[in-house]
Structure 1
Amino acid sequence: MSPEDYKYITNFLLETTGLSLGENKEYLLEARLIPLAQSHGMNGIEDLVLSLRSRLDKNLEKDVMEAMTTNESSFFRDRRPFDELKNEILPNLIAERSATQKLRIWSSACSNGQEAYSIVMTLREHFPELADWNIQIVGTDLCSKALDRAETGVYSQFEVQRGLPVQLLMKYFEQNEQGWKIKTDPGISMQWKHLNLLEDFQHLGMFDIVFCRNVLIYFEPDVKKDILDRISNQMNSSGTLLLGAAETVLGVSDKYAKLSDCQSAIYSLAGRAVAN
């Protein structure tokens, strides 16, 4: 791969997805994009870049963006945030929402859906009082293939062995020829939507809890700030934001305050009174 082609692709990804690859990632681009180029009938990276430069093939642009998206996920990933969701966040939120009995949760960059379904299992296992509530979980991702898998809700033996306790597997999944399929929960509305976090997401509405974990680490500081600031506009006044273990709003956005009772990267909106 020529330096010029590398620079063009990295700039293309930064512009379209916010993904900042930096230097010396030629091996990663080649591993993911050479097979893609060949699937489009091209000889390699050089032909792919020529086509991208023309800006005529929108399907190719979409495929490049999705090929470079990291769809790494697992059930109850990093466990502690789900423990704090169970022990701190949801009890307080349920008390505040007792009159309306409505709850909206956003799993952004949801990948293949394990995070969203982990939230469902947390709700059902520990909060029977929510049985009659109006609960909606919205999963969004840049990758259409990941969203299709999330909506299907079928996972391999390897995937269900990563973080999913066997008792939850037997209770919430059923085995079929493709693997393990999560059982439908008629009491919880699941929606899956294609979304680029660089684009406007006001149409998603307001949320009580927002999961935005392990995605901001790939963005430049100004992009992180823009996304975090816009997420704050989609959070109800008592809403909560959960980031990945290696992520923080400190020094990035002044819209949030750390929840003192939580050890993970969990934040409320700035100015909200935080209970002890």
Structure 2
Amino acid sequence: MTELEFEVLRAFLKARSGLALSVDKRYLVESRLASVCTRFKVESLSRLIWEIKSGRSPAMEIATIEAMTTNETFFFRDKAPFDLFQDILIPRYLKDRAASRRLRIWCAAASTGQEPYSLAMLLKEASGRMPGWHVEIIATDISNDVLERARAGIYNQFEVQRGLPIRLLVKYFTQKGEQWQIAPEIRSMVDFRYLNLIEDFSRLGPFDIVYCRNVLIYFDAPTKAQVLRRIAQAMAPDGSLVLGASETILGITDALSLDPAYRGLYSKSPSTGPASRSALAGVR
């Protein structure tokens, strides 16, 4: 792969997915795209890049984007954001949405589903406090392959051992050979949809709670600013955004404000475009 070919690939990934592939990540390209070459019977990485540039194969383009996208995730990853959901956000919105008894949650970059399913299990545990409530969890990702895995809700032994409390494993999973499938009652709580974050997603919102963790780190500053502003616009006036531990809005956007009491929690700035509670009540 020549320097020019690498730049062609970088430009393609940036334009189509927002992924800012730095020059020091060149080593990742060959390892991740080898399987794409094999799948499409392309004799070399150079040929693959020029096929992508030609625009003749949308399937090849999608496969390349998916291969270069990181899908690292596990149940209750980093723990703190889920403690925040259980101890702060659920009680807050049980009070603030008591009249409508409606709650909408968005997990962006949901990968193979562990994050939204973790939230769903916490909501199920809290269901005794939520009689008559209508709760939606929308989970999106740019990769159709991982979305199919997420919808199936089937995980191997290693995956269920990463962060998932044994009590919840026993309660909400069924063992099938060497794999575990999450219960239908939990799977039915999550609506998985394809979404590219750099494209318009106004049709999804508005939302009370947004989890957008460990995805902004792959974008450059202008793309981060654009995505964060549109997320803010998709939030209810008193909505909450949870970012990853290494992510921040500081110096990037004024559409959101840091909650000083809780690390990684952000609220919508008053000046940001409205997503009214009345609109929220009408979303299905």
Q: What TM-score comes out, normalization by structure 1 length?
A: 0.94
Contact 1:116-1:139 at 8 Å conserved across structures: yes
How far apart are 1:125 and its partner, in Å? 2.0
Counterpart in the other structure of 1:177: 177
Q: 1:28 and 1:187 mapped to 2: Cα distance?
A: 33
- Equivalent pairs counted in the alignment come to 271
Residue identity in the other structure for 1:144: N
Counterpart in the other structure of 1:267: 266
Can you give the 5+ residue segments of structure 1 that lack an aligned partner in the other structure? none
Residue 210 of structure 2 aligns to a residue whose secondary structure is: strand
Counterpart in the other structure of 1:105: 105
Residue 63 of structure 1 aligns to a residue whose secondary structure is: helix
Contact 2:151-2:187 at 8 Å conserved across structures: no
Q: Is 1:216 aligned to 2:216, yes or no?
A: yes
Counterpart in the other structure of 1:30: 30
- Report runs of 4+ in structure 1 exceeding 4 Å deviation: none
How far apart are 1:258 and its partner, in Å? 1.4
Share of identical aligned residues, percent?
40
Q: Is 1:51 aligned to 2:57, yes or no?
A: no
Q: 1:160 and 1:37 mapped to 2: Cα distance?
A: 32
Residue 139 of structure 1 aligns to a residue whose secondary structure is: strand
Counterpart in the other structure of 1:150: 150
Per-residue CA distance 1:148-181 (angstroms, 9 max, x = gap): 0110011110000000010110001111136111
Contact 1:245-1:265 at 8 Å conserved across structures: yes
How far apart are 1:187 and its partner, in Å? 10
Residue identity in the other structure for 1:269: K
Residue identity in the other structure for 1:112: T
Counterpart in the other structure of 1:95: 95
Residue 204 of structure 1 aligns to a residue whose secondary structure is: coil
Contact 1:216-1:224 at 8 Å conserved across structures: yes
Q: What TM-score comes out, normalization by structure 2 length?
A: 0.92
Q: 2:60 and 2:163 mapped to 1: Cα distance?
A: 35
Counterpart in the other structure of 2:124: 124
Per-residue CA distance 1:23-50 (angstroms, 9 max, x = gap): 1322200001122112211111111012
The range that moved more, 121-130 or 84-93, is 121-130
How far apart are 1:188 and its partner, in Å? 5.9
Residue 46 of structure 2 aligns to a residue whose secondary structure is: helix
Q: 2:186 and 2:120 mapped to 1: Cα distance?
A: 11
Q: Is 1:230 aligned to 2:236, yes or no?
A: no
Q: Is 1:65 aligned to 2:70, yes or no?
A: no
Contact 1:136-1:188 at 8 Å conserved across structures: no
